């Protein structure tokens, strides 16, 4: 890994220039577009959290990223904000362009809600593909031509096989709560999914902890990733 492993928090640096106090480290300095900034503002976020400040610029640059930070540190917006920016450049549609994998149905539901709130001004279309929902509903969700799929791995693989889904349109893949994805026993499905994804893609992995199985997975599935580690849970 290209391990940055920084723990400093410079969120509240105030630069005094020409007698004007200017707050640095805000969302405004990140080169985000108006619809995305408006979503952030409506959600009530004033400043990025430390993990957001480290990861968003790297993801915007196109790097693969492994980000470790404790629960509640704001990891969802770390990947959603750059994802919105990347997906807003429209391409002729031939399938979903971003896949977010979550360990549980509850988390996947919550992440879709997050997409709809934070991304409400982007015009992007997102759906869930979840174990426990009817297959018919999920077939129609996929037929609705979503930009973003937020899924649990077992059902996503099932749908891929049933619908003979080709994943060649996927440009971005996020493994959210990756430690829990493995704890829940999804290792095999995750490898299956990765093997079906195009080589040319951006892959992001978010986790509260980094067990060996995850390091190995990241080495195999990510391309020259940057590791960001902030106030990690012991």
Task: Summarize as ranges the residues that interact with ligand ADP (CB under 6 A).
Answer: 45, 48-49, 52, 69, 71-77
Cα–Cα distance list, 103 to 18, 100, 190, 199, 217 (Å): 50, 10, 11, 23, 16
Residue by residue, DSSP assigns 2-43 as EE-------TT-EEEETTEEEE-S-GGGGT--HHHHHHHHHT
149 sits in which H/E element: strand 148-151
Residue 45 partner contact from Mg ion, ligand ADP, none using kind-dependent CB cut-offs of 5 to 8 Å: ligand ADP
| Binding region for Mg ion (CB under 5 A) out of 7-15, 73-81, 146-154, 186-194 | 73-81
As a whole number of angstroms, the distance between CA 81 and CA 71 comes to: 18
Interacting residue with Mg ion among 53, 75, 97, 155 (CB under 5 A): 75
Residue 74 partner contact from ligand ADP, Mg ion, none using kind-dependent CB cut-offs of 5 to 8 Å: ligand ADP
Could you tell me the smallest distance in angstroms from the CB atom of residue 139 to Mg ion? 28
- What secondary structure letter does DSSP report for 119? T
Could you tell me the smallest distance in angstroms from the CB atom of residue 77 to ligand ADP? 5
| Binding region for Mg ion (CB under 5 A) out of 40-48, 72-80, 94-102, 180-188 | 72-80
Could you tell me the smallest distance in angstroms from the CB atom of residue 199 to ligand ADP? 28
Could you tell me the smallest distance in angstroms from the CB atom of residue 144 to ligand ADP? 26
Could you tell me the smallest distance in angstroms from the CB atom of residue 145 to ligand ADP? 27
Q: Which is nearer to Mg ion, 110 or 169 (CB)?
A: 110
Indicate the burial class of 92 (C-beta count within 10 angstroms; 0-12, 13-18, 19 or more).
Answer: exposed
* Number of Cβ within a 10 Å radius of residue 206: 24
- Binding residues for Mg ion, rule: CB under 5 A, are 75
């Amino acid at each position: 890994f290209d391990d940055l492993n920084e723990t400093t928090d410079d969120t509240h640096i105030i630069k005094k220039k020409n007698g004007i106090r200017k707050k640095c480290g805000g969302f405004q300095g990140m080169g985000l577009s108006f619809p995305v900034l408006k979503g952030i503002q409506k959600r009530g976020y004033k400043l990025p959290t430390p993990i957001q400040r480290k990861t968003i610029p790297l993801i915007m640059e196109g790097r693969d990223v492994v980000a470790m930070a404790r629960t509640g540190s704001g990891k969802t917006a770390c990947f959603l904000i750059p994802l919105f920016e990347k997906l807003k450049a429209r391409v002729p549609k031939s399938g979903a362009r971003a896949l977010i994998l979550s360990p549980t149905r509850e988390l996947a539901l919550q992440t879709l809600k997050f997409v709809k709130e934070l991304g409400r001004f982007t015009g992007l279309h997102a759906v869930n593909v979840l174990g426990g929902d009817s297959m018919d509903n999920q077939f129609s969700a996929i037929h609705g031509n979503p930009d973003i799929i937020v899924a649990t791995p077992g059902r996503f693989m099932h749908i891929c096989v049933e619908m003979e889904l080709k994943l060649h349109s996927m440009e971005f893949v996020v493994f959210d709560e990756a430690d829990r994805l493995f704890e829940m026993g999804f290792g095999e499905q995750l490898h299956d999914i990765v093997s079906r994804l195009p080589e040319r893609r951006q892959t992001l992995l978010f986790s509260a902890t980094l067990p060996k199985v995850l390091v190995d997975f990241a080495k195999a599935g990510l391309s020259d990733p940057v590791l960001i580690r902030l106030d990690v849970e012991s």
